[in-house]
Structure 1
Amino acid sequence: MESEPSSTPEPNRDGLHDSRAEKDPSHVENGEDTGRREVKYLTGLRFYLFLVAITIALFLANLEIPIVTTSLVAITEDFHGFERGSWVISAYLLGFVAIIIIISKLSDIFGQKPAFFAALSTFMVFSGACGAAQSLNQLIIFRAFQGLGGGGCFAICTVICLDLVPKRSYTTLITFISVVYAISLIIGPILGGTITMRTTWRWIFLLNVPAAFPAVVIVFFAVPRGFPYHDNPTSLKELMSKATLQRVDFLGSALLLLATLSLVAGVEEAGLSHGWHSAFVIAMLVVSGILWIAFLFWERYITQRDEVPGAIEPVFPWRFMQNRVWMGMIINAIFLGGCWFCTIFQLPQRYQVVHGTSPLGAGIRSIPFIASAPISSAVSAAFAKKGVPPIYLVVGASALEVVGFSLLGTITPSTAITARQYGYEILAGFGCGSNISLLVLLVPFSVQPKDTSVAMGSVTQFRLMGGAVTLAIINTARNAYLKSHLKGILEPEQINAILDFAHTSGPLDPATQRVVGTKLAEGYNLQTKILAGMAGVQLLSSLLMWQKRQIKV
């Protein structure tokens, strides 16, 4: 695949690269201006094999979210712990959150091939471990490590795509990735429901082992050493030299990891085994706040020195914090993650718990939300490619999310399923899908070339972090609502049974059953209203991205 002459524009006054600005002919690589070492694009069989490996990795890493949500009730009933079931989802998201920015930066330093191989191998090994778990605690721990591998795959694949094709092909490749992403989310609920109904839930994890193995083989044998700089690869001795290791931001990576873990762990435990006012939760949130402040101060310090040869390269450059438009993208990504991942988790559970559908039926009924995402991604990318500034599309998609989630939150609280629910799902899914692809598409046009990998990882990591934190918040809100509104209707042990197993411990008379069903539906409506508010924050943050001269792609 040959590239056509192209170059990255000079930054405008906001520090962004305006596609209409005058081009700088320096740092041209393969006819393309990237500001980095010479990139050599793969051709022929190697290119297509690598694309297959990327497709497998993205598909499996994304599949793990919806395939588990439709089987969560069965998993937690097997281990007798529905109230802690959200940890099965959050642990995986936490692994994603913990690794994406870090591994994106490490791939810049040590190379994309070893980073991709390590992530794939980790994902495959711990998928097998999840399938063999003998307790809910074991499963949660293995899921976190599986998430590290899955997050690594997602991050590296996204970074690789920037070096797999020239910029003129970005919109096409992002559309392809969006389709792969969406197919995995569509198939996930159906596959998860089918497996749960016909066999043990353990196959949800065990199937990843043979599925991921071909990708591991392709990366090891077909991807050239040093990709995408394989015409002049760095030797293994140089790669592991003291000079190379000195470039790694070990302290920044550790602070980022610990700050994220303590934040998500604190909000996840609030309302479960600990309350929001408990010493544990307060301590975790305070520690997280201190670590985030320390992280930002450290990144500011080393960013001021990263132009010195051999200096530490920041894992999150401080220049991101100084850029109004970029901060608007990050805030949008955080709240977008909350809306997207919480709905993927909430919808199948609602259909099973409130409406009494099977896991397979819940998966099928969640398709309108999930399937609308790739359609909107393709449509948004097409409009952007035609010259429509992406910021216009981001604002429109955010407004669509507000409408969709607001309508979902007003559904009549009952055990009946109405046709309009599916229409509301489509509106919300269309908005989410558009913004997911648009924020990714904007990254290489919004930062300095040397920051592209970290910027791509940042958008993804903050989106997933928003998802993990918001999931904990809406689950806490739902549990608190049910405890408050079922008091006096059910006995305390019956309420605990609902929170623990998603059903009461013993038969109820029809009238009481209807009341309980209504309260359960109201609890899920409350969650959706919270998501509508977060979509509103997306809309406001999108306005931060507004410029006098808008970015075009």
Structure 2
Amino acid sequence: MTDPMKTPEKNLQVEESQEKNNVVNANVNNQASPFLTGGRLRSATIALCLCIWLANLEVTIVSTSLVSITDELRSFSRSSWIILAYLLTYTCLLIIWAKLSDIFGRKLSIVSSMTLFTVFSVGCGAAQTTTQLIVCRAFQGIGGSGAYSLTVVIFFEMVPKAKYALYTSLVSTVFALSLLLGPLIGGAINDNTTWRWVFLLNAPAGAIAIGLLLLTIPNNFPRHNQPSEENKKFLQLFAKSSLQRLDLFGTFMLLAASMLFVASLQTVGINHSWSSATFLAMVIISCALWIFFFCWECYITGKNDVIEPVFPWRFLKNRIWIGTLVHSFLAGISFTVPVVEIPLRFQAVYGTSPLKAGISLLPFAICTSVGTISAAMMASRLKTPPVFIMLVGTALQVVGFALLSTIPITESIWKGQYGYEVLSGLGMGANAGLLVVITPYVVEKRDQQAVAMGSIVQLRMMGGAIGLAVATCILNSYTQSNLSAVLSPDQLHAVLEQAGAIQSLQPAMQETVISVFAKAFAIQFRVLIGTSAAQYLMILLMWQTKLLRVA
């Protein structure tokens, strides 16, 4: 028979034992949690937002500084290379940075990429020649590529799934603001001080980001909570078995093929003719590298279990995914060319300041962001099939670019063109945003993270780089062929090297030169009509009997 006097004592012991177990379990759970919390999470968020801001700001901030830069360095015909050098390395290394972080760790990789970005930003600001600036921009792009791709990866590893929606909105907002404010910040800097501060401002901001990353991101993140990872030696990161996973050969061929093709388009019309041996050799080698690249990716996807392909061959067996990738490539052209060429047109044709040229891009930039957010909400909340929204978006793009190609040549700025920017911006934003939203729904589960998302971003940025090269080729070829009979060789060289040289010509000659430049910009937008219309073919390729809807 139980003694009633002992029951409370036993119950008290049981309760104390349960409390101890709860404390132990809570400590175990806290130790096992891979997520960041409290002040560390907030500080890491600030650091990562700063990384993505700086990396993407460099894409557009230079657009309103090109004339000032090339006027000082006397190289207007090579102006697009200042942007392309950054875009090429930024584009081709997005996936490889993500894979490197799997081997060397997120913290070491993102700190290294931000350090590279910051150091070569200072190099850009100190450059004395265009060649020096282009080289530094290329290395700056390597760092920016890592900063962008690794920020996205870390964002979704440091919080639970319940916070994914919040952090997706945060990343999208920072990304949109950096692209939107870039031309304005660049223009304001050029109007008030030297263009060199466009790059030098990255030094203090980059140093702050690096410091916060070192303090807030745990070592061995996101496996910092696992005991086996705590004492992992640094040299173990460079083990042969780990390095063999990298598709270095594929990455090299992708980078080389892209650079050669873009370089061939940049040099034709200025340094070489279309039939020159140099141009043809570059194109042929580029095509050969593309063929070797796809053959290599096919081989390692099917027969090699060690190397992780940068572009898995199984992508080409998915009709909907192929349409999505090519659509992303075309959307990259439709975004990058206007962002660079619209401010350039205002400065060359109307003689506006860099700041006013940046303001001229606002309708396109704002409506691109509005189009992205609106399309995503329609697809997710209203359950509208994305292909329907993309059909409307593509129509807006075609109409907007068609109207931009008909802008009349006037002494003062014609206000109607801002409305044309609104149409093309809304269409561009709708297409670009939905291509990211639908990616997890059209690829295999194993490809939903780094590989698939990296491919979408990489194809979009590559499309922008190649589109900008084509646009520059059109501008250089058209102006040279139509002004050679009007200007002396020295005058033509001065105009191609320095847009400000137009203002030094006689009034009648100025009118002729400005007219030629305006027509060249109009041809660029006619090309965008074609690339935008080609998106219809990709939408048809993505069509299904049971239309895709976003959950």
Shorter-normalised TM range: 0.7 to 0.9
Superposition deviation, residue 509 in structure 1: 4.3
**In the alignment, which residue of structure 1 is the partner of 2:497?**
500
Amino acid in structure 2 at the alignment position of 1:455: A
1:479 to 473, 476, 492: 476
d(CA) in 2 for partners of 1:543, 1:42: 43
Q: TM-score, normalised by structure 2?
A: 0.88
Deviation larger for 519-528 or 162-171: 162-171
Superposition deviation, residue 240 in structure 1: 2.6
d(CA) in 1 for partners of 2:540, 2:422: 24
User: Is the 2:269–2:480 contact (alpha carbons within 8 Å) kept by the matching residues of 1?
Assistant: no
Q: Residue 435 in 1 paired to residue 431 in 2?
A: yes
Superposition deviation, residue 414 in structure 1: 3.0
Structure 1 segment 248-287 matched on structure 2, within 5 A: 248-287=246-285
Amino acid in structure 2 at the alignment position of 1:356: G
**In the alignment, which residue of structure 1 is the partner of 2:339?**
344
How big is each residue's C-alpha offset from its partner over 1:291-333, in whole Å with a ceiling of 9 and x where there is no partner? 1111111111111135x4xx12112111111111111111111
d(CA) in 2 for partners of 1:423, 1:135: 39
Superposition deviation, residue 361 in structure 1: 0.8
**In the alignment, which residue of structure 2 is the partner of 1:215?**
209
Deviation larger for 329-338 or 135-144: 329-338
Indicate the SS of the match to 2:534: helix
d(CA) in 1 for partners of 2:500, 2:145: 34
Deviation larger for 473-482 or 161-170: 161-170
**In the alignment, which residue of structure 1 is the partner of 2:410?**
414
**In the alignment, which residue of structure 2 is the partner of 1:288?**
286
User: Is the 2:75–2:496 contact (alpha carbons within 8 Å) kept by the matching residues of 1?
Assistant: no
d(CA) in 2 for partners of 1:204, 1:424: 29
**In the alignment, which residue of structure 2 is the partner of 1:298?**
296
d(CA) in 2 for partners of 1:470, 1:39: 45
Indicate the SS of the match to 2:62: helix
Structure 1 segment 113-512 matched on structure 2, within 5 A: 113-165=107-159, 170=164, 172-232=166-226, 234=229, 235-236=232-233, 238-306=236-304, 308=305, 311-386=306-381, 387-451=383-447, 452-504=449-501, 507-512=504-509
Pick closer, same or farther for the CA change 1:399–1:166 going to 2, 3 Å.
farther
The structure with the greater share of residues assigned to helix is: 2
Indicate the SS of the match to 1:470: helix
d(CA) in 2 for partners of 1:460, 1:102: 13
Runs of 5+ consecutive residues of structure 2 not aligned to the other structure: 1-31
Indicate the SS of the match to 1:304: helix
Pick closer, same or farther for the CA change 1:268–1:333 going to 2, 3 Å.
same
User: Is the 1:97–1:260 contact (alpha carbons within 8 Å) kept by the matching residues of 2?
Assistant: no
User: Is the 1:369–1:428 contact (alpha carbons within 8 Å) kept by the matching residues of 2?
Assistant: yes
Deviation larger for 472-481 or 389-398: 389-398
Deviation larger for 124-133 or 509-518: 509-518
Indicate the SS of the match to 1:546: coil
Larger Rg: 2
> Percent identical across equivalent pairs?
42
**In the alignment, which residue of structure 2 is the partner of 1:9?**
none
**In the alignment, which residue of structure 2 is the partner of 1:72?**
66
Deviation larger for 425-434 or 488-497: 488-497
Pick closer, same or farther for the CA change 1:246–1:513 going to 2, 3 Å.
closer
d(CA) in 2 for partners of 1:539, 1:244: 42
**In the alignment, which residue of structure 1 is the partner of 2:19?**
none
Superposition deviation, residue 77 in structure 1: 0.9
User: Is the 1:39–1:228 contact (alpha carbons within 8 Å) kept by the matching residues of 2?
Assistant: no
Pick closer, same or farther for the CA change 1:353–1:100 going to 2, 3 Å.
same
How big is each residue's C-alpha offset from its partner over 1:470-510, in whole Å with a ceiling of 9 and x where there is no partner? 11111111222222333433334323322221244785443
What is the aligned length? 513
Superposition deviation, residue 238 in structure 1: 4.4
d(CA) in 1 for partners of 2:311, 2:33: 23
d(CA) in 2 for partners of 1:262, 1:155: 24
d(CA) in 2 for partners of 1:280, 1:101: 31
User: Is the 2:64–2:357 contact (alpha carbons within 8 Å) kept by the matching residues of 1?
Assistant: yes
1:91 to 85, 109, 115: 85
Indicate the SS of the match to 1:415: coil
Pick closer, same or farther for the CA change 1:251–1:483 going to 2, 3 Å.
closer
**In the alignment, which residue of structure 2 is the partner of 1:17?**
none
